[in-house]
Amino acid sequence: MAFKVIKEDILSENDGVASEVRASLAQEKTFMINLISSPGAGKTSFLEVIGPKLKEEGISFVIVTGDCFTSRDAERLDALDLPVVQINTGNACHIDAQLVASALEDVDLEGMDLVIVENVGNLVCPAEFDVGEDVKIAILSTTEGDDKPIKYPLLILESALAIINKTDLLEYVDYDMDFSVENIRKINQTIKVIKTSCKTGEGIDAFLSWIKDKIKIKKIT
């Protein structure tokens, strides 16, 4: 029982900071996405592919990347000259709103179109924590099994978009795409699903057109 109370306190404290982050982004009309997946589903790879394309499109953005201990993801993104801020969470299995607020302190948000948070690889905790994002995006992959949507329904419920990555590996793995998408839609009737491959580029244009619409809508609301 006491455990439950502590958790509620932590979440309500987090929600207060998330609201502040959301308010400061609303002032600048900056859209924020929170990318959540298991370790290795392809969050950083996806950013390596979309980052240069966002630049080509003239979209201004910053990536806040979370990792327990290393700065490997930030180094990969920095090598492509993508704007990135690294957060180390230590043993924490998620990024919380305070960490995002601290990361954004040194970022000039004026005129910024998009903030991208790459959360810590985990399908449970990040789904519970609002970090001030406009939308959460679940990245699933064909190598982790088609039952992950039903095993981690909160993430699917909380997400506006589900990306199913590594479609190039479909012929090598036992992944029933119809079963996976069916379960995603059972859990969340309004979620959009995009199938991608960071290797072949499948689905990348579909994502870019989705994100450009979201950025446009944010600017006029």
Ligand X SMILES: Nc1nc2c(ncn2[C@@H]2O[C@H](COP(=O)(O)OP(=O)(O)O)[C@@H](O)[C@H]2O)c(=O)[nH]1
Q: 61 near 80, Cβ under 8 Å?
A: no
- Cα 9 to Cα 205: distance, rounded to the nearest angstrom: 41
Helix (H/G/I), strand (E/B), else coil: 179: helix
Runs of H (alpha helix) within 29-60: 43-56
Shortest separation between residue 49's beta carbon and ligand X, angstroms = 8
Contact pattern for ligand X over residues 15 through 44, marking x by CB under 6 A: ----------------------x-xxxxxx
Tell which one of 41, 43, 152, 191 touches Mg ion (CB under 5 A). Answer: 43
* CA-based nearest residue to 99, from 66, 145, 148, 125: 66
Among the listed ranges 66-74, 138-146, 181-189, 212-220, the one in contact with Mg ion (CB under 5 A) is 66-74
Q: Which does 37 bind (CB under 5 to 8 A by kind): ligand X, Mg ion, none?
A: ligand X
Q: 152 near 127, Cβ under 8 Å?
A: yes
Q: Show contacts with ligand X in window 167-206 (CB under 6 A).
A: 168-169, 197-199
In the bound state with Mg ion, the residue whose beta carbon lies nearer, of 43 and 195, is 43
Shortest separation between residue 169's beta carbon and Mg ion, angstroms = 18
Both structure tokens of 118: 């790459």
What residue ranges bind Mg ion (CB under 5 A)? Answer: 43-44, 73
